């Protein structure tokens, strides 16, 4: 089942170029979906439309398998969200911030202690929020989003501006929420390396168009499609003739390269080169990392 599904979601601001163009997002239940794209790609616009913070213009939005507009209030009771900057009162403590929302959500007061434990703020519950680090403020905002015990969490760049330690804390928190509490998470980011370590599915958006959607494994498989074995020799032109008998050639910075081969074939090529009186200085492998793949998808 899809926790979120958009069908041909399109949106324009003041008649300008489409901010979103036929976006078909599919967030499967009990997954962590990383929604990736450069700044201004359409991530926040998509999330605001899903939450009803922007009026839908064209397309359909299904949440928990039902049109969002059918029962907006009941649907929002099952969703926790953090869009753009944390909304907390700096002169109040973590507990006091949560008490305000606990009354709004009409949820049991015990939830305050539970969510503070979940986000590891129980020991600083009485500290003023203005004295919190940015990472602590982000965790408090996530605690607020979890207060009414939602089954879906929507987070817009929650690691933005955090140091590596803060990013790791948020990552471990979200993994725990998904794994131990069954919460589906949709998280946006403009940096793949920040979230590739814990997401299960990825959507890549740029200029309002969804360019890729699938599992992390499917994105990683693109790495193999752009991986090469490179041979550096004393006679590259002659080496190219010999190597071409084994595999189609590719040009990598004027060096002789072929698409990724198994080690037995690499050994056989090396043997043939040596037998042909060609010195082999180095055999190396070039692989695209996930960040390079991300930029390649956007460039395409």
Round to whole Å and give the CA distance between 175 and 161.
20
> Got the DSSP string for 64-101?
TTEEGGGSHHHHHTTEEEE-SS----TTSBHHHHHHHH
Asked, for residue 277, whether it belongs to a domain, the answer is: yes
Round to whole Å and give the CA distance between 215 and 153.
19
Rg (CA), the chain: 25
Same domain, 210 and 266: no
Same domain, 217 and 236: no
CB 219 within 8 A of CB 33: no
Residues 14-56: tens digit of each pLDDT: 767 789 999 999 999 999 999 999 888 999 999 999 999 999 9
Asked, for residue 298, whether it belongs to a domain, the answer is: no
Same domain, 138 and 40: yes
The two tokens of residue 143 are 């605690």
- CB burial class (10 A; 0-12, 13-18, 19+) of residue 14? exposed
Asked, for residue 89, whether it belongs to a domain, the answer is: yes
- Say yes or no to pLDDT of 254 above 80: no
Round to whole Å and give the CA distance between 201 and 28.
9
Same domain, 90 and 239: no
Read off the pLDDT band of 156 (50, 70, 90).
Answer: very high
Asked, for residue 300, whether it belongs to a domain, the answer is: no
What number of CA atoms fall less than 13 Å from residue 250's CA on the CB side? 14
Kindly report the pTM of this predicted structure: 0.79
Same domain, 105 and 170: yes
- How many distinct structural domains can be found in the chain? 2
Round to whole Å and give the CA distance between 142 and 155.
8
Domain boundary among 222, 257, 274: 222
Round to whole Å and give the CA distance between 253 and 251.
6
Same domain, 119 and 245: no
Same domain, 249 and 112: no
Asked, for residue 295, whether it belongs to a domain, the answer is: no
> What is the CATH classification number for the domain harbouring 112?
3.40.50.300
Strand-pair partners of 283: 231
**61-75, 107-121, 238-252: least confident range:** 238-252
The two tokens of residue 91 are 């002169």
Domain boundary among 181, 198, 222: 222
Considering the chain, what is the average pLDDT of its residues?
Answer: 88
CB 79 within 8 A of CB 105: no
Same domain, 183 and 271: no
Read off the pLDDT band of 170 (50, 70, 90).
Answer: confident
Residue ranges making up the domain that contains 143: 2-222
The two tokens of residue 57 are 């213009």
- Say yes or no to pLDDT of 298 above 90: no
Same domain, 217 and 243: no
The two tokens of residue 38 are 């450069």
Which position has the token pair 């009186």? Answer: 277
- CB burial class (10 A; 0-12, 13-18, 19+) of residue 35? buried
Asked, for residue 294, whether it belongs to a domain, the answer is: no
CB 87 within 8 A of CB 42: no
Read off the pLDDT band of 276 (50, 70, 90).
Answer: very high
Which position has the token pair 């969200």? Answer: 81
End-to-end CA distance of the chain: 31
Domain boundary among 164, 195, 222: 222
- CA separation, residue 139 to residues 83, 118, 270 (Å): 13, 9, 55
Same domain, 77 and 91: yes
Asked, for residue 274, whether it belongs to a domain, the answer is: yes
> What is the CATH classification number for the domain harbouring 257?
3.30.70
Asked, for residue 215, whether it belongs to a domain, the answer is: yes
Same domain, 171 and 235: no
């Amino acid at each position: 089942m899809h926790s979120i599904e958009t069908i041909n979601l399109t949106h324009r601001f003041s008649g300008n170029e489409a901010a979103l163009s036929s976006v078909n997002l599919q967030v499967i239940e009990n997954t962590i979906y990383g929604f990736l794209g450069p700044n201004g790609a359409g991530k926040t616009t998509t999330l605001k439309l899903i939450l009803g913070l922007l009026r839908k213009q064209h397309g359909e939005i299904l949440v928990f398998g039902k049109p969002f507009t059918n029962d907006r209030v009941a649907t929002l009771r099952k969703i926790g969200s953090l869009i753009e900057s944390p909304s907390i009162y700096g002169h109040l403590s973590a507990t006091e911030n949560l008490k305000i929302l606990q009354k709004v959500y009409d949820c049991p007061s015990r939830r305050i202690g539970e969510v503070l434990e979940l986000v590891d703020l129980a020991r600083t519950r009485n500290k003023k929020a203005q004295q919190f680090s940015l990472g602590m403020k982000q965790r408090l905002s996530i605690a607020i989003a979890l207060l009414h015990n939602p089954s879906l969490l929507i987070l817009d760049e929650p690691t933005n501006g955090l140091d590596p330690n803060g990013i790791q804390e948020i990552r471990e928190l979200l993994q725990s929420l998904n794994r131990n509490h069954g919460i589906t998470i949709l998280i946006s980011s403009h940096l793949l390396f920040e979230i590739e370590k814990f997401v299960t599915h990825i959507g890549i958006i740029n200029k309002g168009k969804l360019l890729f959607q699938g599992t992390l494994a499917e994105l990683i498989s693109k790495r193999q499609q752009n991986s090469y074995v490179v041979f550096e020799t004393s006679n590259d032109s002659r080496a190219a003739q010999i190597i071409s008998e084994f595999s189609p050639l590719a040009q990598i910075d004027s060096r002789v390269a072929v698409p990724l081969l198994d080690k037995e074939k690499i050994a056989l090529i090396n043997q043939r080169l040596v037998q042909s009186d060609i010195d082999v200085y180095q055999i190396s492998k070039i692989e695209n990392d996930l960040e390079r793949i991300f930029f390649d998808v956007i460039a395409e």
